[in-house]
Structures are given as structure tokens and as C-alpha cells.
Structure 1
Amino acid sequence: MPEPGRMPRLDPLAVTRARWAEQTLPGDPWPFLATGSLSRLHQIVSRALDDRLKPFELSRTGYFLLTTLSLIKGERARLGTLSRYLMIHPTTVTLTVDQLERAGLVTRERHPHDRRATLVRLTGSGLERVRQANAALQDDAAEGPLGELTGRYRKLFEALQEVRAAVGDTDF
């Protein structure tokens, strides 16, 4: 229920759907509505995630990189592997590793068998920081968009996993 004196909030994509029919635009509105929904959800969750990670002095990319390293055997990976896993440009990985290294959360080391490759290793401080960040993201008392996702994360993941597989996201 909206507060007295306030207009109820409208779903802009529901309005768009209604206007599509009124304007008699050609074609099916669902591609626009589905991709618009994904884009809006991405923006909302990204903003909320940024806010939640701020106390840990982590960017989203830094958080994803640290979490990925924590889940890899040996807690280390090549820069290129991280780029592929995270689907981000190699330069972005390098810049993020630079920031995390300055903060003492990762170190760089030579690959034991390939002189051309550099490995990124998670430090004890990095592991502790990412554990704290993950605990904060699982806080059932969280307010806002992330709080609304509590209890829905698995359902959302499973719904998107089928679509991601269909578009080839499982190919590394």
C-alpha cells in the first residue's frame, strides 16, 4: 500500500507492455520486455551489491575475483583463467589484481612451469575479507534489493542457469 498522499509505484515495463499494445507496434513485445527486465534487475542488484561491499573496500569485480580464487584448488589461478571465468577483459583483471595486491589481498607469482604466465594467489587477508563480505551478503536482516533476494537466490540462479546454458555460457 502506498503511503497516504503518495502515488502508487508503477512497473515501467508493465506500462511499456500496455503502451506497446496501444501503439500497435509490430512484433512481439517479449524480447524487449525480457531483456529490459534483466537490464533493470542487473542495475538494481549491482548498485545494492556495490553499497554492501563498500565497508569491505571491495569493488564488485574485486569481490568476484577473490571469491573465484577462494573456490579454486590452491587458491591461485592464471590471469587469463580469471578473465574467462569472470567474463571480463584481461586488462580489467590486471587492474583489479593491482588494486587487490596493493591492499594485501592477493599476490602475484611466477607459474612453476610456464615462464610466460603469472599466477594470482589469494592471501590469508584476502580469504578473510571475502569470507566477511560473503557473510554480509547472506545476512537475513538485509534491507533493500539484496534483502528481497534472501531466500530467492537459488531459485533465481536455477531460472537463469537454463537460459545461460542455452546461449552457450557453459563453454570455457
Structure 2
Amino acid sequence: MTFVLPLDPIADARRRWAEQGWAEAADGMAAVTSLMRAHQIAIARVEAVLKPHGVTFARYEVLMLLYFSRKGTLPMALIGERLQVHPTSVTNAVDRLEVAGLVRRIRHPGDRRATIIEISDEGRAVAEAATSDLNTQVFSKPGISDSSVHDLIRILTELRGNAGDFDAAEAR
């Protein structure tokens, strides 16, 4: 059951920010707070679609990295680097995917300290089914117009680039 608020709490907070003498920060507060709320909404939608497939978004991301890799394998450290998460988070996701039979660990042939993660046939099937459902239920219907989607991508790319998320000069 969804409860619809009678007013936009972020717009109300923005107004109150300005009334408190913080007008110069009110728009930024509203933007950041809106972004955080939009993140909650998007994650809830994605997780609801992934739940029947037995994976969380973090585990789905690992599966998709492996799915898109040439050999279906990647070193564990590279997975963390590409997903921009702490190694502990990758280990946790891989542990759970391994228990579910969706990936397997392989000893690195040239470096005893490194571990290679390989997607299994079952993992590939889950990745394909989950992606199909996400494409149909979430990604093709994000809740905003097509032109707004393009604007949002541009805006968030700018934010991420300015935060040092990637080398903006190399991305061009």
C-alpha cells in the first residue's frame, strides 16, 4: 500500500530553508534531497523485480559484469574496481552468488593471491531473465518522459564527472 502525502515535503523543506535565512543553499538542499529520494524509489522498483530471481541489485551488477566480459570471467579485484565498491562488498556478493550456484571461484593461474570469478550457465540464465524483466518493468518505464531521461543522464553524468567518478576527458 502506498501512502500519498498531501504536499511535497522536499518543496516544503526548501521553502523553510529559505525562511531560515539559508536561501542560497535551499535549491541545493532540494536537489540533493530529491536525488536521494529518487534513489530510494529506483532501488525499491529494481529490487522488487530482482527478488523473484533470487538476487539483489549488487549481485545482479556482478552477474552482468561477468556476463558482458569476453570469457565470462573477471578477477575479483577488477569487479570491485568496475563497480566502484569496497572489496568486502564484492566478496559478500560473490559469496552469495557462489552459494546459489550462479558463479564459481577459480584460482588465478599467474597470481596465487588473486581469484578469478566465473559466471555459471545458471548465472547466465538468471542474468538474462532478470535483465529482460528489468528492461520491461523498470528501464523502459523509468517514470519520466524520454526527454527528461536524456536530461537526467546528462545532469547525473556532469555530477559524477565533477565528483571524480571517472575521467571526463577520457569519456568523450
Give the TM-score normalised by the residue count of structure 2: 0.82
Q: Return the offset for 1:159.
A: 2.8
Q: Return the offset for 1:101.
A: 0.8
Q: Return the offset for 1:21.
A: 2.2
Q: Does 1:62 align with 2:62?
A: no
Q: Does 1:110 align with 2:107?
A: yes
Counterpart position of 2:162: 166
Whichever residue aligns with residue 143 of structure 2, its letter is E
Q: Does 1:100 align with 2:97?
A: yes
Counterpart position of 1:82: 79
Unaligned segments of structure 1, at least 5 residues: 1-5
1:138–1:150 contact (8 Å) kept in structure 2: no
Give the CA RMSD over aligned residues.
Answer: 2.4
- Deviations for 1:91-115, whole angstroms, at most 9, x for unmatched residues? 1211211111111110110112112
- % identical equivalent positions: 35
| 1:7–1:78 CA distance, 2 compared to 1 (3 A) | closer
Q: Return the offset for 1:129.
A: 0.4
Q: Return the offset for 1:55.
A: 0.4
Counterpart position of 1:91: 88
CA distance in 1, matches of 2:129, 2:145: 17
Q: Return the offset for 1:43.
A: 1.2
From 113, 123, 128, the equivalent of 1:126 is 123
CA distance in 1, matches of 2:57, 2:149: 17
From 126, 135, 138, the equivalent of 2:135 is 138
Greater Cα shift, 125-134 or 78-87: 78-87
Give the TM-score normalised by the residue count of structure 1: 0.82
Q: Return the offset for 1:155.
A: 4.8
CA distance in 1, matches of 2:123, 2:100: 9
CA distance in 1, matches of 2:150, 2:53: 24
Q: What secondary structure is seen at the aligned counterpart in 2 of 1:104?
A: coil
Q: What secondary structure is seen at the aligned counterpart in 2 of 1:73?
A: coil
